[in-house]
Structure 1
Amino acid sequence: MGEALELTVGERTVRLSNPDKVYFPERGYTKLDVARYFQSVADGALRALRERPTTLQRFPDGIGGESFFQKRAPKNRPDWIPTGRISFPSGRHADEFCPTEPAAVLWAANLGCLTFHPWPVRRDDTEHPDELRIDLDPQPGTDYADAVRAALELRELLDELGLRGWPKTSGGRGIHVFVPIVPEWTFPQVRRAAIAVGRELSRRAPERVTTAWWKEERGERIFVDYNQMARDRTIASAYSVRARENATVSAPLTWDEVPDARPEDFDLRTMPARYAEVGDRHAEMAEHPCRLEAVLELAERDEREHGLGDLPYPPDHPKAAGEPKRVQPSRARREG
């Protein structure tokens, strides 16, 4: 696999073992290629992860081998990589990898981490999210172009609600829009805001957008995955590498770029040059926190005037007060 190398990031030197190990067989990209990529975008990657408890999605033998999600911070981490303690829906807790230096990104890459999954909180306050994350997920029969159309309509809605969204490719077929917020609201409140945004978007485009949790009800529409704001649900961070043969990455965009950009434009090979030319498109995101009063008022109006309350949580979550039954509609009709 080749002798170990040392790579410098900031003021740190990180050891890279087995640099010649092939991670992406179709393209021939090696572990060293992945490390060089993260070295080139380290500051931007850290911006998306800084002080955030983060789950590592590791592929120690490349995308053709076994992979796993590591929620608890590796025990062999250096003392300059801190942790953040988070609580799961079960009530248990864990100390997660919580980077504060760009070299930490490269250190995780040496463990085979391609995709970083940060919580929408900082380690000094893990009960109050500082990001409202909106995941536009194409369903069968739809594609990235449909997600683009929904994202542009979402931008108009966010503007009306006094919210500023920052779009990025998922690295797959979807689009993520992050809204930095003042960390004053709890997970249930921010999730409720995500539901309200999704419902309003689906009202404006009912044939193209849905918040239906059950797949049998979604149809050929873009699903606004509101449960990405539930506790212990995360979204791939900006600059994460996705486990696809073409090694696409999650690319921060400006709104002007959204109509013409495509996921395949941004990969392990092309992103370093883009980053060197334009930098981190979301570098200023944390400097523009928004407030949720307007969208929570929309949620209250939905419940008061239309009887639209909570929606189902993921199956691993305890039953929440006011949550509807977690039964597929077709099954409920059969049993009824």
Structure 2
Amino acid sequence: MYLGAPFTFALLQRFPHHRRRFAVAGLVITSFALVGSSFATRVWHLILTQGVLYAVGGSILYFPTIIFLDEWFIRRKGLAYGVMWAGTGVSGVCIPFIMNWGLNKYSFSTMLRAWSIVLVLLAGPLLLYVKPRIPVSQTSYRRPISLAFLKTSTFWVLQTGNILQGLGFFMPNIYLPSYARALGLSSIAGTVTITLFNSMSVFGQVVQGALTDRLHVTTVILMSTISATLSVFLLWGLSASLPVLCIFSVMYGLSAGGFSSTWTGATQEIRKRDDDAELGMVFGLLAAGRGIGSVVSGPLSEALLSGEPWKGEAKLGYGTGYGPLIVFTGISAMFGGFSWVGRRAGWV
């Protein structure tokens, strides 16, 4: 979904009259992908259905709402986007427990088919209310997609920080459950940490989105960067018990979990440099930047954990075998504040 965002937004810009139809088609595709994956008997079946088909459907279902929201909100655009993205955190709080219960009681195929029905019943009626505010003109079809903003230093400075932050962002959410087990904690402890991260991300998205309406986006990024970096090095790295790990999940969710809400402020800064820059295309490229981290973090984290380095040689969390992973996550979070440095240098 991340890496395909520029292409999806280009499609939505090329056919603006059909954006609502795309959303409906996206819902059908995602539902079909879930049902198809319930019949999977090989890994490549899951890659095709959940990895590719579900992502394609999710993109054309989700991305039109980003364009519509830009039309409906002006003065508090950052807050509006923050509230919308907070929905991801809300889902992250509820779904793990529902899935854990369902997978224990029913088969994975039954849960996937049931979830496809739930998706249609919940999202389907809402699509009736997801619509543009500004009528689409015929000239929209003939207007070429402007990529002139790619020549500005503002875009590249903000994108660089976005990519660097994304390289380590996904690692805690992936490895907190196994890290909890490495400390000798129960499996439910790992679920609790993920739930705390997702629930705090709800507040992080809203707060950081609202702050971009009042402060320069690089200032908001700096605040997020400092909090995320300190939480990784001082809380995750020094955690050897569930309470400290829970505090880390809360702090990391509030800071790093809300980072994508700064994209609204980043887009506004980029559009100040280029009036022809389309919100969808800027968002799409920022999402693709985050997608680089999403893809790279998988094999990179495996390399960092290979052989359980520092285990027994360092103290507390750094000596659990996850030390290099923790350090890399902290460094990635710190470099996420590159745009603030860029502003000081006059590049933004």
Instruction: Assess same fold via TM > 0.5.
Output: no
Flag the structure with more relative contact order, 1 or 2, with Cα contacts below 8 A and sequence separation at least 6: 2
- Greater share of strand: 1
Q: TM-score range by the shorter chain?
A: under 0.3
Q: What is the TM-score when the length of structure 1 is the normalising length?
A: 0.28
